Structure 1
Amino acid sequence: MSDPRIAIVASTSEAAQRTAEVLRRCHGDVPATEADVIIALGGDGLMLRTLHRYMNLGKPVFGMNCGSVGFLMNSARDNGLLERLDRAEPVTIKPLHMQARTASGSLREARAINEVSLLRETRQTAKIRISVDGVVRLGELTADGVLVSTPAGSTSYNLSADGPILPLRAAIMALTPIAAFRPRRWRGAVLHNSAHVEFEILQATKRPVSAVADFTEVRDVRYVSVREDNAHALTLLFDPEHNLEERIVKEQFEP
């Protein structure tokens, strides 16, 4: 990437702002719409917000960890940026597309890079019917909720809910219950990324459920549809030594 035009996005942390100041002096800072590459300075939360904000631009994003969690970020250095960009290895990920119909009948749409989660809103467990590609696979799940995760998000909430870690290049997604009560032994499913997953909320008035796609929450849903969004492909850039796929494999062997 010869003399790229750079857009800098930084969190409010002192470390991120300090690094941004140095990078702007050395390389400038153009609007994201004019940039060849976006530099994201912060933690994984900042990376997710950056990917969502600029999803329609199709620009590669190189993250530096200036936050508390940096699974999707490279190490933070304020020198050698152009050399790092020249050596960077691209990873392409696709988000999930969520459609949620509410109790009022309105239809809400959102995209998720990590996961779409259905969560109980009250003290009572949720009751949810799950269909995959038009076939009812679970007539009634009684649980705190359920989620669909991308490979990129499989080490996040999905892993905390005892879901499987997914290889980044695998064309699959995880369907994982959250604190399931019935059926007790159901631990979820691994689905092809072409699968269309549908959730119907049972006893919705008594047991209200919200749907969350990364940062977007929709309350009092009655029906939720989730599938991979083939219209958007997001490119993350990583230092060769940071290899995201290797980090995901290593996560499976951590004590």
Structure 2
Amino acid sequence: MRAASKIAFLASDSEIAQEALVKLGAAYGAVPLDEAGVIVALGGDGFMLNTLHGTQARNLPVYGMNCGTIGFLMNEYAEEGLIERLEAAAEEVINPLAMRAVTTDGRVHEALAINEVSLLRAGPQAAKLKITIDGKVRMEELVCDGALVSTPAGSTAYNYSAHGPILPIGAEVLALTPMAAFRPRRWRGAILPKSAHVRFDVLEAAKRPVMADADGKSVRDVVSVEIRSETSIRHRILFDPGHGLEERLTREQFV
């Protein structure tokens, strides 16, 4: 049984989430983060990602309640029975991706991504990317609108919209998915081991500028991007029984 009675409530700026913050705080009490045994995040998936990133050093489980739109990472919102739901919740552990991007001016930018790291063309012409996996060049030139590397948790997000595969939680793999690939025209991407070190080199960077994005943190004019799983960081997400990520990932494939 987790310390469900010591709850830190965090909410997005939306009116719905702020109203929920007031109601739940009054009903269950609220403690500062440094005294909490669990975090309840009120908002949508974007706010959940921000909460996980912002509290990763605390190693606290996070239980999301949907006050947004899709809410793939969230549980259904209800004011009643929160303590019982927290005590019964199942925990999923997710490791983020670490991005290291180098820009045309030589600066290095680092960021973490729970869902995916993506490269996107930033001009009118298609991007040209060289793909290296674990030090071995696997594709000399991919002409495309972009490409991404996704975790299982993020595989139903941008990756799925780009026609990438849905990955089961615990499969210990990553998805490498192109966006609007022109050459090779029929290449649909690859499934890589979680331990893989992925490197993209941007070809003709001045003529075909590319930006990199890690869960909404963007870097423009990149010349190279390296991506790997950061296993030293563990994000703990709580779900109501029967509604965890495994079930959600399976359900998404039948709609």
Same fold (TM over 0.5): yes
Task: Give SS of 2:145's match.
Answer: strand
State the partner residue of 2:137. 136
Amino acid at match of 1:170: A
1:70 aligns with 2:71: yes
Q: Deviations over 1:61-114 (max 9, x none)?
A: 000011111110000011111100110000000100000011010111000000
How far is 1:3 from its partner? 5.0
Distance 1:107 1:2 in 2: 40
Assess, with a 3 A threshold, how the Cα gap between structure 1 residues 248 and 3 changes in structure 2: closer, same or farther. closer
Distance 1:33 1:221 in 2: 38
1:21 aligns with 2:9: no
State the partner residue of 2:88. 87
Amino acid at match of 2:30: D
1:189 aligns with 2:184: no
State the partner residue of 1:102. 103
Distance 2:98 2:115 in 1: 11
Distance 1:2 1:184 in 2: 53
CA-based RMSD? 1.0
State the partner residue of 1:244. 245
Amino acid at match of 1:89: A
Distance 1:2 1:219 in 2: 43
Contact 2:121 2:127 in 1 (8 A): yes
Task: Give SS of 2:242's match.
Answer: helix
Contact 2:97 2:113 in 1 (8 A): yes
1:124 aligns with 2:125: yes
State the partner residue of 1:112. 113
Task: Specify every segment of 5 or more residues in structure 2 that has no aligned partner in the other structure, as ranges.
Answer: none
Q: Deviations over 1:13-56 (max 9, x none)?
A: 23222221121112222222321111001111110111111112
TM-score, normalised with respect to structure 2: 0.97
Contact 2:168 2:246 in 1 (8 A): yes
Distance 1:214 1:2 in 2: 30
Amino acid at match of 1:65: N
1:59 aligns with 2:60: yes
Contact 2:197 2:227 in 1 (8 A): yes
State the partner residue of 1:201. 202
How many residues align? The count is: 254
Distance 1:40 1:54 in 2: 11
Assess, with a 3 A threshold, how the Cα gap between structure 1 residues 80 and 128 changes in structure 2: closer, same or farther. same
Amino acid at match of 1:17: Q
Distance 2:4 2:181 in 1: 53
Amino acid at match of 1:84: R
TM-score, normalised with respect to structure 1: 0.97
Task: Give SS of 1:180's match.
Answer: coil
Amino acid at match of 1:60: P
Contact 2:128 2:203 in 1 (8 A): yes
Amino acid at match of 1:143: C
Q: Deviations over 1:184-220 (max 9, x none)?
A: 0110000000000001010011111111001211110
Distance 2:35 2:191 in 1: 39
Distance 1:154 1:2 in 2: 31
Task: Specify every segment of 5 or more residues in structure 1 that has no aligned partner in the other structure, as ranges.
Answer: none
Task: Give SS of 2:182's match.
Answer: strand
Q: Deviations over 1:157-183 (max 9, x none)?
A: 000000000001110000000110000
Q: Indicate the percent of aligned positions where both proteins have the same amino acid.
A: 56
Amino acid at match of 1:101: V
Query: Which moved further from structure 2: 41-50 or 237-246?
Result: 237-246
Amino acid at match of 2:232: A
1:232 aligns with 2:233: yes
